[in-house]
Amino acid sequence: MQVSPVTRRLLQRTLMLQAAGTALALGGVAWYFTHPQRVAALLPERFQPVAQSVTLTASDGALLHATWIPGEGADGKPFARTIVHHHGFNSCGGMLLARKAIFARAPAPVRWPEQREALCAWPVVDEGLRRGYNFLLVDARAHGKSGGAWDSTGELAISDASRWASWLRDQHTQLWVGLWGNSFGAAVGLGLALRGSGGGYDAMVLDSPVVMAEGVYSGVVRPPFYGVIQPVIQRLGAKQLYPMLRAQRPWMPILLIHGEDDGHVPAWQSERVYEVLRDPAHPERTQLWLAPGAAHLEALELEQEEYVRRTLDWFDQWL
């Protein structure tokens, strides 16, 4: 069939526009994953009399920030065990979920999340202080008040988290250090678990870890735009975690938590991690709790009492 010059020009123009749109979308997604948003968690007044802003120099010279909340033992000194909170991408120390819309300039295939107040760690901190824990709420590099360039491979974040564990033992003579990680922070925890001596940590509670690119954001971004962002997600460092976990099977006591209705990081990722980590000879060292009806990182909100109990019971058992 012969195509008229006008039709040919229209087809060429349509293809050019589609290619330009795809390039813009890829550029926007790449920017999103390499330029975290800066958010801050408002520290409740009850913590302010004892909370301290502390800093640490990273291996590349970046100045990292955290909030140190010491508990007080019978002798008036801080407790000998600390829980480090490591947030996820686009969040900060003490905040699980900023609840800002992703891909703010994305086209229609994005399902906009409901705008609600940020979900913060305070229920766990309150009960943890009562049970005899200190807390260190770290701002990951390029988040909160921390400097440094963002590293989407996660290698620098893992190194930073290990330094915070050393800082706690050196500066505050902590005997036990546990990690409570969320999303990207949970993936950092798995990276630490693969290191010798667990990167300085003794036990972990990891909420919604991302360990592979498959399925990430599949419940938030619909086709055909999802096919556009997948190449970018495939280049992120988390995709290497699952094969490394299968190869090494770390010894770290780990409690995995995941919302069953998580559209950002599907729950089957934690199920696969659980299958890899669980040692039949020592089944008590690995547990998985799937929170019914919970979206990404929202298990604490929907099942607050259960979430706090499971998290702190786990640290009580291993710290």
pLDDT at residue 16, rounded to an integer = 43
227 lies in some domain: yes
92 assigned to some structural domain = yes
Do 200 and 191 contact (CB within 8 A), yes or no?
no
Residue 314 lies inside a defined structural domain of this protein: yes
The reported pLDDT for the residue numbered 148 is 95
Task: State which residues form the domain around 159.
Answer: 52-318
Low-confidence residues of the chain, pLDDT below 50?
A: 11, 14-28, 101-113
**Cβ neighbours around 116 below 10 Å, total:** 10
Residue 31 confidence (pLDDT): 55
Total number of domains in the chain:
1
The pTM assigned to this predicted structure is: 0.86
**Closest to 233 measured CA to CA, from 25, 19, 87:** 25
Tokens of 96: 């699980």
pLDDT at res. 103: 38
**Domain CATH number, residue 193:** 3.40.50.1820
pLDDT one-digit tens code per residue, 264-274: 999 999 999 99
Cβ pair 141, 184 in contact under 8 A: no
Cα angle vertex 265, ends 44, 247, to 5°?
A: 110
Span 194-217, pLDDT tens digits: 998 999 999 999 999 999 888 887
User: So what's the pLDDT on residue 8?
Assistant: 52
The answer to whether residue 166 is domain-embedded is yes
